[in-house]
Amino acid sequence: MKRTLTIGDIHGGFKALKQVLERANVTENDKLIFLGDYVDGWSESSQIIQFLIELSEKQECIFIKGNHDAWTEDWLSLGTAPDVWLFNGGQSTVDSYSNYSLEELEIHLEFFQRMKNYYIDEENRLFIHAGYSSMHGPEKEVYSSNYRWDRTLWETAVAMDKKLSKNSELYPKRLLLYKEIFIGHTPTLHLGIKEPINKANVWNLDTGAAFTGALSIMDVDTKKFWQSDPLPKLYPDEKGRNRD
């Protein structure tokens, strides 16, 4: 039976990615939708990209572009390495590419360039890294950076009155556009929760793999999910994006 599985922010944690794919018993029949931020954090960013390139040749994969992926794309394309990127995990990505040839770097750049800003499936479910601000949906978004940086969509879903009817004038118009919305970007750890969270019709799959959390993968139909070990356990000699 073919499943549609979505995967949260990985942030260089290749060991965690391999764990969740194994724990979810992923096969080549499954459709995989990655929500972005493959890089920046733990030490295996380039290895993840190479793995995903090869994985996409074996089965159906959708790759959404996250803000960290956009930074890495700019570095591969233009050589730009802003301090804010390096400080927020970019240095680990740069280091992971130290032994790559120019040809290999070009192949990886093309992979980043092919990533989608968002994806809407046949059941009107939206998959996007961060969110969008337009009440008419992401296709009407004025600033494309919102796909990768917006937090207002998630904040709106979190703050909503659970008793609010969808027929109410006060119900956020953005949330009425899709059956369900799957995002990453804002770690659930901010709410003190280590598992995927559902607020209104929004599912947040960023369970803090860049920090002290685990990586999560979810069956979008059944909502069953699997998680890796906490990333600090998998990379005991590294800090990831933790400051301490």
Residue 169 to residue 156: CA distance in whole angstroms: 15
CB atoms within 10 A of CB 24: 21
Q: How far is CA 216 from CA 103, 108, 161, in A?
A: 32, 24, 27
Coil vs helix vs strand at 56 = coil
Do 4 and 59 meet the contact criterion of CB atoms below 8 Å apart? no
pLDDT of the chain, 244 residues: tens digit per residue: 799 999 999 999 999 999 999 999 999 999 999 999 999 999 999 999 999 999 999 999 999 999 999 999 999 999 999 999 999 999 999 999 999 999 999 999 999 999 999 999 999 999 999 999 999 999 999 999 999 999 999 999 999 998 999 999 999 999 999 999 999 999 999 999 999 999 999 999 999 999 999 999 999 999 999 999 999 999 999 999 998 7
Which domains does the chain show, CATH number per domain?
Answer: 4-234 (3.60.21.10)
The Cα 40–Cα 54 span in angstroms is 20
- What pLDDT score was predicted for residue 243? 87
Q: What is the pTM of this model?
A: 0.97
SS3 content of the chain, % helix, strand, coil (to 5): 35, 15, 50
pLDDT of residue 1: 79
Rounded distance, CA 214 to CA 133, Å? 28
pLDDT of residue 35: 99
β-sheet bridge partners, residue 195: none
Phi, psi of 127 (to 5 degrees): -120, 120
E strand intervals along the chain: 4-7, 31-34, 61-63, 118-120, 125-128, 180-183, 197-199, 202-204, 216-219, 225-227
